[in-house]
Amino acid sequence: MGAQLRRIRQRASTVRSISKITRAQELIASSRIIKAQQRVRASGPYARQITRAISALISYNVGISHPLLTERTDTRRAAVLLITSDRGFCGGYNSNVIREAEGLMSLLREEGKQPVPYIVGRKGIAWYRFRQRDVAHEWYGFSDNPRFENAEDIGRVLVEDFGKPEADGGVAEIHVVYTEFASMLTQRVEVRRLLPLEIEEAEAAPAEEEMGALPLYEFEPEPERVLDALLPNYIESRIWHMLLQAAASEHAQRRRAMKSATDNANELVETLTRVANQARQAEITQEISEIVGGANALAEASAGSE
């Protein structure tokens, strides 16, 4: 009985220590969500203005042509960029992204295309390496706190591959699978086609809709050269926004997962404490019974000797 009681108490102590760790992780994630949300909001004005500038240029120059706006027919390769996390303890965050990406790849194969993975985050990289699948490019080390330089690096590689011939690893399409932060309780996995470029002015925010019609910009030099400068920046800003959304979603899901783990640990500690108390009570009862039995035996022995 004593050995069993020690095991129960030791397990309760271990679970109590785990609950402290998960509670600390929950608090850290909670503080980082606020910063991540602020960064998402801060990136909004630039993304909206560059979208409006490109939309105005294309709208007022009918028939304008650019490689990033043109469907390619010389290759069937399609890049799929997965934005996952570098660390775990975030519930189904990574599995949801990978599952959505695998569904997209299956759909691309049905259309006769060859999907090519590009991975952000150690968890996604490990998933594909474990299954010995080829990955075109990898980025990691910044999933929970991305910088614009990371988006520039990713955008540069994707744009370069989009412009290459198939023999050099070129791709005809670029899709992105990431998690969009809707609220503290809701994060949705989204799939976006990044290239060939699709300008969707309908996605404008309410504040942008109040601006009215597209501005009448005067472009200097000619529109084609302006697009050469603006479109790569636009791609990088879109990737930057997706990285920030994914980071906020990662912190939110880590907070929720750690809170659930803490609650479960506390509940388990209560259960083990109750079991330990019952075991201790049974041990005390047995000791009392042994003492009373011994005392009765001595009393009977004394009475018989008299």
> Residue 225 domain-assigned?
yes
- The per-residue pLDDT for range 7-61, each reduced to its tens digit, is 888 889 999 999 999 999 999 998 899 889 899 888 888 888 887 878 777 776 6
Stretch among 15-29, 67-81, 235-249 having the lowest mean pLDDT: 67-81
> Residue 298 domain-assigned?
no
> Residue 158 domain-assigned?
yes
DSSP 8-state code for residue 195: E
Task: Please give the pLDDT value at position 248.
Answer: 94
> Residue 83 domain-assigned?
yes
Tokens of 293: 């039995």
Work out how many domains the chain is built from and give that number.
1
> Residue 282 domain-assigned?
no
**CA pseudo-torsion sign 98, 103, 109, 113:** negative
Mean pLDDT of the chain: 86
> Residue 237 domain-assigned?
yes
Query: Residue 180 is part of a domain; what is its CATH number?
Result: 3.40.1380.10
Give the Cα separation of 2 and 5 in Å (integer).
5
Name residue, tokens 């997209």.
104
pLDDT band at 219 (very low <50, low <70, confident <90, very high): low
Give the Cα separation of 195 and 281 in Å (integer).
70
In terms of Cα–Cα distance, which of 167, 180, 298 is closest to 246? 180
Note if the pTM is more than 0.75.
yes
> Residue 275 domain-assigned?
no
Give me the domain span that covers residue 158.
27-258
Instruction: With residue 181 as reference, give the H or E element that holds it.
Output: strand 173-181
DSSP 8-state code for residue 77: E
